[in-house]
Amino acid sequence: MPVTAETQAILDMRAGAPALNELSPQDARKAMAAMRPQTDSPEPVAQVHEMTVPGPAGDIPARGYLPTDDPSGLPTIVYYHGGGWVIGDLDSHDAVARALCNRAGMSVLSVDYRLAPEAKYPAAAEDAYAAVAWINSMYDQQGGRSDRIAVAGDSAGGNLAAVVAQMARDRGGPRIDAQVLIYPVTDFNFETESYKVNGGGEYGLSEEGMRWFWDLYLNDHAEGSQPYASPLQANDLANLPRSLTITAEYDSLRDEGEAYAQALAAAGVQSSCTRYDGVIHGFVSAFEAVPEGNQALDQIAAELRSAFGMD
């Protein structure tokens, strides 16, 4: 189907702006911040806490969202923002974190992992894993259940969620019960059909842009074959958490996300995948303007509630 009217309006608004890969990483971050919808009244949640999480290279900034004043016993969604491992921050995904907190009825920990090129692979992945380990230790200290953790993220954040699920399995914990991968980066591979039909830049995320992100993230291209960079290239995908993958029709990353969902299922993992037609990369973050983004958030919330027996 053609792009939706709401999606076309977003593309029209962006027309004429320089591509992020034409800017320095620092200017790309400023450009992303400038495009952020400005609001004086974010969706309210019961509590929001600025905090830090101990990481392998120092404290990692994070933001906690609570759906109730007494969150004891509730699962925690550890969320990783998108932005090609180069841009994005807690503020860029504040609206998504608030929406997930309320719709799922769960605590959310949004993680401001180290960005490239200042901190290259595997810095972001190690920070992402450290956040889950910290949440697990908090459960232990408070006498809570350790099987109440989900990981989620969009784009590069979806990559990190998938990678953390593999890391936790490979390293003997902590336990993760569910993963939500929103148009994730899963493979250092530009030969898919979705790159061929969507990678020219007319729908936002281009092949050239993704090459730029990868080049800034990796120390060298050989690392792109490592599973903690390209989770689709893992030799073994068994014994991973149940998974929901969300993809967009007009997205360069569509096929690799769907391939990962299929590979998980083939490995015996409970894995589902939904493609939203007529929309582009980033549509979930644009949920306030794009109805399909709202639908996806509702689907994600329902999946997480199901995973934790909260139906």
Residues assigned a catalytic role: 155, 251, 281
Beta-sheet strands, E only, within the chain: 47-55, 58-66, 76-80, 107-111, 149-154, 178-182, 242-250, 271-280
What are the distances in angstroms from CA 94 to CA 64, 99, 206, 238, 272? 10, 9, 25, 33, 26
Amino acid code (one letter) for 176: I
Amino acid code (one letter) for 107: S
* Contact criterion met (CB below 8 Å) for 111 and 62: yes
Q: What is the DSSP track for 56-82?
A: BTEEEEEEEEESSS--TT--EEEEE--
